[in-house]
Amino acid sequence: MESPPPTPAARLGWLDALRAIAALVVVFDHASYTFMPDFRRELMPQFNTSRYGILVFFLVSGYIIPASLERRGCVRTFWIGRVFRLYPLWAAAVGLFLVAGLLGVARTRDYGRESAAEVVVAHTTMLQELLGTPSALLVLWTLSYEMAFYLLVVGLFTVRLHERSVAVAVVLAVAAAVCGTTGLALPSSALSRAVGTGPLIAFAAVTMVAAIGCASAGSRTLQWYGGVTGGVLALVLVASNGTVPLWEGLVILAVMFLGTAVHRAENGAGSWRYVAATAGVVVVCAVGSAWRYGDGDQFTRRGWILAFLLALLTFGAGLASRHRRIPRALAWLGAISYSVYLVHPVLLAVIDGTVGRRRQDDVVLAVAFFAVLLPLCALTYRYVEVPGQALGRRLARRMR
């Protein structure tokens, strides 16, 4: 008798393993500031651990997010799922961090002339890093690029170009190469400086809400309008108001659409030959841009390039192992990886604000930090993430 087909959870177990690896590497990178400063100084010029983990996360998002939208076939339920997947834990982590700041056990950011309302609205859109507003928690900058990707994916879906992920990845990669090799660059948050942070936040927030509302409507015309508006907003913000170099922002989007192309090929909706060619274009453009434009004040070119290449190899290794059994520990860590990603900077901020950073490497304290972090994340997953996702699923069923 033939064995039954694997369940969706089993088929996507390799993605959980990749999330687990990415989350642990990012946590290690940030924890090294506190517990292992000597080791960090030796490692970072050779290998940018934070960029490695983040790029693995972006590849996984690129693989799974468009598939989630297309499986539902409904923009409305897609956005409901995203909101209840991201915001409950996001709100809990930011809230805990602000409470720690009020208690004097963690240092919060100084937003200068920005009003509290501007900061709150910018963060609520999750586009704060693209709106000239520093993230309350450092790791939240990646969610701004995730949100931009969601807007682009929805835009392509509404105009029926969502199957052109190979072409989109190539165009973005080539644009990154043009920017990187010619030295084309804009100052950080250039658009905010030109029109003002407050007006840009207000405009972007209203536009984003209107775009999501229209794209989720029943009218085909409104869907088209909302999708295009959201996609254009995302591209403009990434291109003119990011805090990472312009070429790197475009590489991030290209990497995510490369993940989408892999998913299509795996499911028979695309050619592996085209995926391989696309990967080659993305690699050449990204490495060329980093080598030509990479600034040692932000990161060493070699460290970024190695991180980028190893992230692609890690994703490829996971893809090649997708039919193998995934260790339960990795699957569990992958399930709680979002909690690990958002909770660890809060815990580190409290440690830095109370105990202080080590002047020399202290492996014992680093291990103790992980021993506290992982059970704490298991609790936030169980009592914050799971109920939020369950509520989102119930609401999505009602809204169909």
CA distance 137 to 332: 24
What is the helix (H) or strand (E) element at residue 52, kind and residue range?
helix 49-72
Residues 190 and 274 in one domain: yes
Question: Residue holding tokens 């002047």?
Answer: 359
DSSP state of 360: S
- C-alpha distance across the termini of the chain, in Å: 38
Residues 235 and 277 in one domain: yes
Give me the sign of the Cα torsion angle 254, 257, 262, 264: negative
pLDDT digits (tens, 9 = 90+) for 147-180: 999 999 999 999 999 989 999 999 999 999 998 7
The pLDDT confidence band at residue 101, using thresholds 50, 70 and 90, is: very high
Q: Is residue 310 part of a domain?
A: no
CA distance 265 to 396: 29
Residues 145 and 42 in one domain: no
Q: Is residue 306 part of a domain?
A: no
Tokens at residue 245, please? 């170099």
DSSP state of 141: H
Q: Is residue 125 part of a domain?
A: yes
Judged against a pLDDT cut of 60, whether residue 285 lies above it is answered with: yes
Residues 258 and 337 in one domain: no
Q: State residue 319 phi and psi, 5-degree precision.
A: -60, -40
Supply the pLDDT for residue 375.
Answer: 97
Residues 124 and 21 in one domain: no
Q: Average pLDDT for residues 13-26, to the nearest whole number? A: 94
> Whole domain around residue 114: which residue ranges?
109-298
The widest CA-to-CA distance across the chain, in whole angstroms, is: 70
Model pTM greater than 0.85? Answer: yes
Residues 84 and 127 in one domain: no
pLDDT digits (tens, 9 = 90+) for 37-77: 888 888 877 888 999 999 999 999 999 999 999 888 899 99
Question: Residue holding tokens 């339960």?
Answer: 328
The pLDDT confidence band at residue 12, using thresholds 50, 70 and 90, is: confident
Least confident of 144-158, 285-299, 364-378: 285-299
Residues 43 and 84 in one domain: yes
CA distance 99 to 102: 5
- Mean of per-residue pLDDT scores for the chain: 90
Judged against a pLDDT cut of 60, whether residue 104 lies above it is answered with: yes
Radius of gyration for the alpha carbons in the chain, expressed in angstroms and rounded = 21
Other C-beta atoms closer than 10 Å to the C-beta of 359 total 8
Residues 113 and 85 in one domain: no
Determine the number of helices (DSSP H) and then strands (DSSP E) in the chain.
18, 0
The pLDDT confidence band at residue 111, using thresholds 50, 70 and 90, is: confident
Supply the pLDDT for residue 294.
Answer: 58
Tokens at residue 166, please? 């190979």
Least confident of 7-21, 60-74, 92-106, 377-391: 7-21
Q: How many domains does the chain have?
A: 2
Judged against a pLDDT cut of 70, whether residue 297 lies above it is answered with: no
Contact 241, 191 (CB under 8 A): yes
The pLDDT confidence band at residue 9, using thresholds 50, 70 and 90, is: very low
Question: Residue holding tokens 């999750």?
Answer: 126
Residues 257 and 128 in one domain: yes
Q: Which amino acid is at 232?
A: V
Residues 89 and 130 in one domain: no
Q: Average pLDDT for residues 229-256, to the nearest whole number? A: 94
Q: Average pLDDT for residues 350-364, to the nearest whole number? A: 88
Q: Using alpha carbons, select from 11, 54, 28, 16 the residue that is nearest to residue 361.
A: 28
Q: When comparing pLDDT for 328 and 45, which is higher?
A: 328
CA distance 33 to 101: 20
Supply the pLDDT for residue 270.
Answer: 84
Strand, coil or helix: 150: helix
